[in-house]
Structure 1
Amino acid sequence: MPNLHIIEGDITLATVDAIVNAADPMLLGGGGVDGAIHQAAGPTLLSECLKIKAVRKIRCPVGEARITAAGNLASRYVIHTVGPKYHREEQPQKLLAAAYRQSLSLALENNCQSIAFPAISCGAYGYPIREAAEVAIQTCLADEFKNIDILFYLYGQKNYSIWQSVLDKKNR
């Protein structure tokens, strides 16, 4: 079973091998966690993102992930993933699970032993927090990810409590 932890705190301060960025498809930085990660990482992160070839103005499609160096962050890598916009996608749970799975697979391919996730799609993309927690935690509990430490960094006590309750329920 993977080693999962729920933390209330700032993901940009995580001391892990890879920090996951809830990005937009162009990987240009933006608001929310994406903007915070880009700001903390410095201009090197945007330069790294711009090296990723865009196809029809998209560097990372919904449900996929890309990896770059981490700039000024304490991690070695930033894994950029694009979650679904909850009310726009037919099967948002499938795309959200794919975003977590792709991020974890990239981390393992790059010999990462630890990874920090935000609550992907729960901000401006409108994904309900409890439902997102259930999809994320269920995906991360897969046997293929048992050898990586997974930390979920949540903003605010309310979000932390919801994610912790979902994890506690799964551990029963």
Structure 2
Amino acid sequence: MSTQSAQSANIEAIKGDITAIEVDAVVNAANSSLMGGGGVDGAIHRAAGPELLEHSKELRRDYPDGFPVGAAAAIPAGQLPAQWVIQTVGPNWNVGERDESLLRSCFTSALDEAVRVGARSVAFPAISAGIYGWDPKTVARVAVSAVRESARLADLDRVVFVLFNDDLLQLFTAELDN
């Protein structure tokens, strides 16, 4: 399902593999170490190859206490079809990070970073909807509203939520249809 914004970017949700999608920038739901992990983060690191880890290590040098929740930074995408991986750390519900503004910031900061590096198309996973314990329906609502309301939307052609199962796809599609 997709919607055309009054500004310019086409916003859509699809079921698929975020590591295989052809966009300029893929957003990674990273952990604060930026060194890879499980879920989407692990899949992106595996598909991108060792270059992504090396660029992540360089980025991490600026953040000795870990990359901050809600921030975003673009690094070269290694072997992915995308040019950039935008690292962002979602809030972890399980450790008390329950402020929706932190989750919203993941999406808006990633869009800011995408535009900064010249990306015209961006793919997002369902940040924090997995092991970080956020309710997927809340993630869909916050993600779609953050993207729709972003001032950066006019600078993009396509924003796609790439979801790994039918339940997430249904939730994001419902939000896009609202």
TM bucket by the smaller chain?
Answer: over 0.9
Q: Summarize deviations over 1:33-62 as a string: whole Å, max 9, x none.
A: 00000000001100110111243331x200
Task: Please list every run of at least 4 consecutive aligned residues from structure 1 whose deviation after the TM superposition is greater than 4 angstroms.
Answer: none
Q: Summarize deviations over 1:20-79 as a string: whole Å, max 9, x none.
A: 000001100000000000000001100110111243331x20010111100000000000
Deviation (angstroms), 1:89: 3.5
Percent identity, please.
39
TM-score (norm 1): 0.93
2:76 is equivalent to residue 69 of structure 1: yes
User: Which deviates the most, 136-145 or 86-95?
Assistant: 86-95
Pick from 85, 89, 100: which aligns with 1:82?
Answer: 89
Partner of 1:150: 159
1:19-168 aligned at under 5 Å gives the runs: 19-52=26-59, 53-58=61-66, 60-89=67-96, 91-142=98-149, 144=151, 145-148=153-156, 149-168=158-177
**Does the CA-based 8 Å contact 2:91-2:97 persist in structure 1?**
no
TM-score (norm 2): 0.90
Deviation (angstroms), 1:3: 1.4
Deviation (angstroms), 1:143: 5.0
Structure 2 stretches lacking a partner, 5+ long: none
In the alignment, the residues of structure 1 paired with residue 65 and residue 98 of structure 2 have an alpha-carbon distance, to the nearest angstrom, of 23
In structure 2, relative to structure 1, the CA distance for the partners of 1:124 and 1:113 (3 Å cut) is same
In structure 2, relative to structure 1, the CA distance for the partners of 1:132 and 1:73 (3 Å cut) is same
In the alignment, the residues of structure 2 paired with residue 143 and residue 165 of structure 1 have an alpha-carbon distance, to the nearest angstrom, of 19
Give the root-mean-square deviation of aligned CA atoms.
1.2
Structure 1 stretches lacking a partner, 5+ long: none
Count the aligned residue pairs: 168
In the alignment, the residues of structure 2 paired with residue 133 and residue 86 of structure 1 have an alpha-carbon distance, to the nearest angstrom, of 15
